[in-house]
């Protein structure tokens, strides 16, 4: 039998369609009655936000390539027009399901729970009177209705802003006929408005309902015939020709202003908007019918996330938990972190274990007289970052502080520019990474003078230095003062700051240089072991798998008899279970309370196992266009612990979705077996192991 062509399009799943399937899995949690009600609303909002970003970046990118006449084919052989057509069909289905979830499932359930989101038909006379006064005092003063005529052309509409197109009849103050006007809702206005309590409840009203009801007050003497919501999504990818600029920060600051007005890629309108008005809007944005989405409800579901914070109902949210400390820190409480790290490496698993030691690592260094230097990479850390506060304090205390800030971290560019200004003003050395490569590695280096000489302490992680997301994302972090790893991290910072050529790293695997090749070689080594009858196994956990060469290597390993288990939260371009190609590969996605963000790669290696944690997924961008690292987990107890965690993920039959050879995901079911929810089990086991209780 001839060997199959492992590049054959039938063996690959389209990246864009795979993302939409992931978003469908997120939406499924909004339907899931076992999830607390307000969390279900949150998942609906997340699915809406995900879809927004998908159109802003991925669809916008495809449309741009189409305009350029690109003949590029995806690995599954779909052309760009075919991908856009398939995306539209699947997105229409997703949007329909989102609004079915809102209108038929969540709103009735919220009402049953005593949370009332009032539509206009639900208003009592007292409610209407209160809202009319609210409109007069809080809303009307910040609205600027814009009539449309030859002297007043169609206004610029910001990306994802809430707008209304109003049909009018009559003459304005100058005797001119008025037919159409645009009302733009400033972002400063709350999209969900709580109104005075009634019968022990505090109902909520959407801003859209308020504006539509009282919009005639903006047009005295003119008849309002209709008022309809709309929202345009624009290309939000920033383009900066790094070879042609002298100051990346200044160039990005200029581009950020343009992001709000990039090329339109999608138009959302309320379902009741007349065809002639929707056609008019499409013309204004140079869009086609295929770019139009009619919404049976508010045009931006993500704005409903405000309800989660407005409604103080702990019974309708996930139970609060207290992250624990690892056994290595539990006895000292992390009070002498450097001594703890000298004694042994320390492994953290967030959010089950606290992010506080990572913060303390820099805080202690800032005030420790023995610390000479602190170096850190920052990709996403939040606009008001306590990590940056600690770095600023260190710089002000006279430490040598070097920070590599990735200004191009998508949608965090503005926050990162502000943070870079703060750090520079405090006296820190701030660099913006390498031209053409995003710095996505998560590393901190602290240089300390001790009695036996200079010692390097390192933290390496799979996630960002962001305390808020550390409570919501699963990630691993490692503290170590291993000499070889410390030297590697030192060389890496030299490479990023001085642009010198570094010697080959001893322990770390770095992209864009060796990470891709090393991962392929390790997969192929498992295949060799399997062919020789030696122990071989691969377990990989990541956010996305789309690199064709990595997929081919996994297919080769499967054909050699290697058992491959993949835990991939989001996009997966590999088709498992194809006879003769991937029958030894299983793919599952865990979607639940926490965003599965950790990247872990395990290779059995004939009884001499290797396990790496990494900042990188198996995507072309991570392998070739980013600075990433994978770091080894050397302590047997730490490897065993991560393998136990992986075993829990592989046994999940509640939140797991299994990918079939047909490219469809099916939710796992316990059947007659005991129910296993990986995230709940890890919460319980880490709490027990650390001496903490939930």
Q: Which long-range CB contacts under 8 A does 491-499 form with residues at least 24 apart? A: 492/441, 492/443, 492/629, 493/375, 493/402, 493/404, 493/443, 493/445, 496/377, 496/404, 496/431, 496/433, 496/434, 496/439, 496/627, 497/402, 497/404, 497/429, 497/431, 499/434
Residue 629: burial class (beta carbons within 10 Å; 0-12, 13-18, 19+): buried
Q: Is 516 a catalytic residue?
A: no
3-state secondary structure 516-566: HHHHHHHHHHHHHHHHCCCCCEEEEEECCECCHHHHHHHHHHHHHCCEEEE
Report how far residue 10's alpha carbon sits from residue 33's, in angstroms, rounded to the nearest whole number. 36
Could you give the CA distance from residue 355 to residue 323 in angstroms, rounded to a whole number? 8
Q: Per DSSP, what are the bridge partners of residue 658?
A: 588, 666
Run of H or E residues at 167: strand 163-169
Tokens 């891709």 -> residue: 516
Cβ–Cβ under 8 Å, residues 446 and 460? no
Which entry of 349, 440, 459, 638 is annotated as an active-site residue?
440
Tokens 């919009």 appear where? 215
Kindly report the backbone phi and psi dihedral angles of residue 440, in degrees, each rounded to the nearest multiple of 5, phi listed first.
-110, -5
| Cα(394)–Cα(381) distance, integer angstroms | 17
Task: Evaluate whether 401 touches 387 at the Cβ level (below 8 Å).
Answer: no
Angle 524-526-529 from CA coordinates, rounded to 5°: 115
Instruction: Say whether the peptide bond before residue 341 is cis (omega within 30 degrees of 0).
Output: no
State how far the Cα of 146 lies from the Cα of 136, in Å rounded to an integer. 18
Pairwise CA distance, residues 294 & 268, whole Å = 6
Contact call for residues 588 and 652 (beta carbons, < 8 A) = yes
**655 token code pair:** 């939140």
By the 10 Å C-beta count (0-12 exposed, 13-18 middle, 19+ buried), 575 is classed as buried
Tokens at 594, concatenated: 């926490």
Q: Which two tokens stand for residue 420?
A: 């870079």
Report d(CA 321, CA 9) in Å as an integer. 46
Q: How far is CA 574 from CA 21, 554, 587, in A?
A: 14, 9, 9
CB 603 within 8 A of CB 538: yes
Q: At what angle do helices 80-100 and 15-31 cross, to 10 degrees?
A: 0
CA 332 – CA 343 distance, rounded (Å): 12
What backbone torsions phi and psi does residue 541 show, to the nearest 5 degrees? -120, 130
Question: Is 476 within 8 Å of 347 (Cβ atoms)?
Answer: yes
How far apart, in whole angstroms, are the C-alpha atoms of residue 319 and residue 149? 55
In 245-317 the beta strands, taken as DSSP E runs, fall at 264-270, 292-295
Rounded-to-integer distance, Cα 553 and Cα 324, Å: 39
Give catalytic residue positions. Answer: 440
């Amino acid at each position: 039998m001839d060997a199959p062509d492992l590049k054959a399009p039938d063996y690959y799943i389209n990246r864009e369609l795979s993302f939409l399937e992931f978003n469908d899995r997120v939406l499924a949690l909004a339907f899931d009655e076992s999830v607390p009600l307000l969390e279900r609303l949150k998942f609906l909002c997340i699915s809406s936000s995900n879809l927004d970003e998908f159109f802003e970046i991925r669809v916008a990118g495809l449309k741009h390539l189409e305009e350029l006449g690109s003949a590029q084919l995806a690995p599954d052989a779909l052309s760009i027009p075919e991908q856009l057509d398939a995306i539209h069909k699947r997105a229409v289905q997703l949007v329909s399901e989102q609004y079915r979830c809102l209108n038929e499932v969540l709103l009735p359930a919220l009402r049953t729970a005593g949370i009332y989101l009032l539509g206009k038909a639900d208003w009592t006379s007292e409610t209407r009177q209160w809202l009319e006064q609210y409109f007069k005092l809080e809303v009307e003063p910040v609205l600027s209705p814009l009539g449309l005529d030859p002297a007043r052309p169609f206004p610029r509409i910001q990306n994802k802003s809430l707008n209304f197109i109003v049909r009018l009849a009559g003459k304005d103050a100058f005797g001119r006929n008025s037919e159409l006007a645009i009302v733009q809702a400033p972002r400063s206005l709350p999209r969900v408005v709580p109104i005075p309590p009634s019968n022990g409840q505090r109902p909520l009203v959407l801003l859209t309902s308020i504006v539509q009801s009282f919009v005639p007050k903006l047009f005295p003497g003119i008849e309002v015939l209709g008022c309809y919501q709309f929202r345009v999504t624009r290309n939000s990818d920033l383009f900066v020709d790094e070879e042609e600029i002298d100051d990346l920060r200044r160039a990005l600051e200029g581009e950020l202003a343009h992001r709000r007005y990039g090329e339109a890629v999608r138009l959302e309108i309320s379902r009741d908007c007349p065809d002639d008005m929707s056609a008019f809007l499409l013309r204004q944005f140079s869009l086609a019918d295929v770019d139009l989405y009619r919404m049976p409800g508010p045009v931006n579901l993500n704005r409903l996330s405000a309800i989660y914070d407005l409604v103080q109902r702990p019974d309708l949210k996930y139970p609060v938990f207290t992250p624990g400390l690892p056994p290595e820190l539990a006895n000292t409480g992390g009070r002498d972190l450097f001594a703890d790290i000298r004694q042994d490496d320390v492994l953290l698993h967030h959010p089950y274990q606290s992010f506080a030691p990572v913060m303390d690592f820099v805080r202690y260094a800032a005030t420790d007289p023995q610390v000479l230097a602190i170096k850190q990479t920052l990709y996403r850390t939040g606009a008001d970052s306590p990590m940056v506060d600690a770095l600023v304090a260190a710089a002000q205390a006279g430490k040598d502080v070097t920070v590599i800030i990735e200004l191009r971290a998508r949608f965090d560019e503005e926050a990162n520019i502000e943070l870079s200004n703060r750090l520079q003003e405090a006296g820190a050395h701030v660099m913006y990474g390498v031209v053409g490569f995003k710095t996505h590695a998560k590393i901190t280096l602290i240089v300390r003078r001790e009695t036996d000489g200079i010692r390097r302490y390192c933290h390496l992680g799979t996630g960002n230095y962001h305390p808020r997301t550390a409570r919501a994302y699963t990630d691993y972090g490692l503290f170590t003062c291993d000499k070889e790893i410390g030297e590697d991290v030192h060389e890496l910072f030299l490479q990023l700051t001085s642009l010198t050529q570094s010697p080959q790293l001893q322990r770390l695997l770095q992209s864009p240089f060796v990470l891709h090749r090393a991962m392929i070689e390790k997969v192929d080594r498992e295949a060799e072991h399997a062919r020789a009858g030696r122990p071989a196994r691969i377990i990989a956990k990541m956010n996305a798998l789309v690199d064709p060469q990595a997929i081919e290597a996994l297919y080769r390993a499967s054909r050699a008899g290697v058992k491959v288990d993949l835990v991939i939260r989001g996009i997966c371009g590999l088709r498992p279970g194809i006879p003769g190609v991937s029958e030894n590969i299983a793919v599952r996605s865990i979607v639940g309370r926490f965003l599965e963000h950790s990247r872990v790669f395990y290779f059995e290696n004939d009884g001499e196992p290797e396990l790496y944690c990494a900042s990188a997924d198996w995507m072309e961008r991570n392998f070739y266009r980013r600075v990433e690292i994978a770091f080894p987990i050397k302590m047997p107890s730490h490897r065993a612990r991560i393998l136990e965690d992986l075993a829990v993920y592989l046994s999940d039959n509640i939140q797991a979705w299994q990918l079939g050879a047909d490219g469809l995901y099916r939710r796992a079911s316990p059947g007659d077996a005991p129910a296993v929810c990986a995230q709940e089990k890890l919460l319980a086991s880490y709490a027990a192991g650390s001496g903490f209780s939930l």
